[in-house]
A and B are shown apart, each in its own frame.
Chain A
Amino acid sequence: MRAPLDGVAWIETPEQLGFRVHLAGPVRRGFAWLLDVVLQALLLGVLAWALGGLGGLGQGLLFVALFFFTWLYFALFEVTMQGRSPGKRVLRLQVLSEDGLPVSARQALLRNLLRGADLLLLPAGGILPLGVLPMIFDRRMRRFGDMLAGTIVTAEPRDRPIRAFARPSAESLRGLPPILPLDRNDLEALDGFAARRHLGPHRRAELAAILAPVYARRLGRPAPREPSEFLLALWARGRRREEQTRGA
């Protein structure tokens, strides 16, 4: 089976249990990184102020802090905070080992040492770090450091219960047979349609106009006049959600 390009990684456990984790892409990771860098700058500022009175020793310690922030900050947080630096925590990202387990100290250190290479700027444009390249081409969106250490960065998907963007009318539901010739794939496709609340009505109608005739033909009837309404009714009946949608 060809793996789909949908930003998920498949993880199999010793119990032969397979599940998906959602991967984080370059943009979300970029924002997390930016947050971390801002935090580092703030902490360094505070340190510089606090160590200012210590003279030479203070300056030396500031250099040590700079070293820490450059090379160890991320690794330390990723080991002690379940794969989350503060920036990652805010953006709900988590570093995991490829087998879906917590990262080990070695993995965290290695992946962050490679920042030294991943953060080199690409000659073209000069704003994109080198590490973005493999992230674009790799199916698991890893940067070089992830590849060496065997880690992935996952994004916690937001809880978005599927509620349709509109209720099917009682009339359109009545027009449907009680048992529909829909298999599980169809139901999943209809789920996907019903959940697309963010689309404008025109785009929705456009999509529905493609999808609705397929199911209308299967039910042995002409293409519906209101394709979007028809699909919603199919979805509600297929999932037996008439009551919920009507009663809500």
Chain B
Amino acid sequence: MGPDQFAARREPQWTRLESLLAKARRRAPGLGQLGPSEVWQLSKLYRGLAADLMWVKRERFGSEMELRLERLASEAHRLLHKGQASRQSGLLSQLLDFPGAVRRNRAWVLIALGLFYGTTLVGGLLAWFDQVYAEAILGPQQVLLMEDMYGEAAVRSVEANLTMTGFYVFNNVGIAFRCFATGFLLGIGPIFYMVFNGLNLGAVAGHLVRIGAGGNIGAFVVSHAPWELTAIGLAGAAGLQMGWAVIAPGRHTRLGRLRRVGPELMRQVLGIAAFLLVAALIEGLWSATSAPAWVKLSCGIVGAVLVGWILIFSGRRRPLPEDVRDG
């Protein structure tokens, strides 16, 4: 049988399949668009197409026909098999697995937090004892701006609070995501972000303490700090894990290793985003109100206890995710 004869004979089936696929493509695409007998027909046509395609390839009936059948096959395949999209747990379930993922990677968390808090502490001490240091790190304008902002207790108008809440969502979650994403480059990104942010934060805090405004900035940050500073550190940890998967893939190829850590990273990123959202709401709507410092301090303590409880104790009874169980 020549190509033309073959095509003429099989054309009705292909056309039928094409029209079924077109029907399934309308509006919310999926098998739901088709009736039961149509689905049955589709799967039969698909199997027929598989045989046709093999024949066309073996007989080399030409790339034209091959192309058309391959396109049909690929679309029918996507429609009939949902793959990962259906096997995978929903985003909420992945979010609930976040504390477990953090605990499983606690070594990385400790390294990232150590790096972040360590540079913050060192930078803070340096800025506290040495006037020149903060100016060298932040630049004189920035120092003046900080002195201006925290010269007295930070209180904003309601309007400004709303604007700033949005800004914190955009800026802080963005920083965390970027810190994570650049982990791909052998972990250089997270290390840079941890050190850079740590030094900056330390310089600001140390300098303000030195000029006697420590109480003001302390009252401002204490409520949201547990959420925000932990989440930034966790983002660094997730980025480092990704970098390490590239550096030392173990028994896998580098790409294979990356692919395996993907789900675990996703859980952490979702949790980090949730933490930062909480932080942004507190920082935007509450931190700059005129509530007395001791109330804010107790908010900070409650926050710290909650963060600690979530990361250390929550979700312990959840079953291990599949990808972790398989090692």
Contact = CB atoms under 8 A, between A and B. Distances in A.
Interface string A83-117: 00000000000001101111111110110011111
Nearest to B164: A60
Contact of B64 (A15, A64, A70, A191): A191
B53 A148 contact: no
Contacts, number: 173
Interface stretch (A30-38, A156-164, A166-174): A156-164
Contacts of B161: 56
A183 B181 CA distance: 51
A59 interface: yes
Interface residues of B, number: 67
B166 interface: yes
Interface stretch (A16-24, A197-205, A218-226): A16-24
B170 to A, nearest CB: 4
Please indicate which of the listed interface residues A11, A19, A118, A156 has the most CB atoms of chain B within 10 Å of its own CB. A19
A15 B47 contact: yes
Contact of B54 (A17, A109, A149, A191): A17
A62 B166 contact: yes
Contacts of B230: none
Interface residues of A, number: 61
B258 interface: yes
From DSSP, what is the main secondary structure of chain A's interface residues?
A: helix
B309 interface: no
Given A100-B78, A144-B184, A117 B167 contact: no
A56 B62 contact: no
Contacts of A239: 3, 62
Contact of B266 (A109, A187, A192): A109
B177 A113 contact: yes
Contact of A19 (B74, B180, B182): B74
A104 B266 CA distance: 12
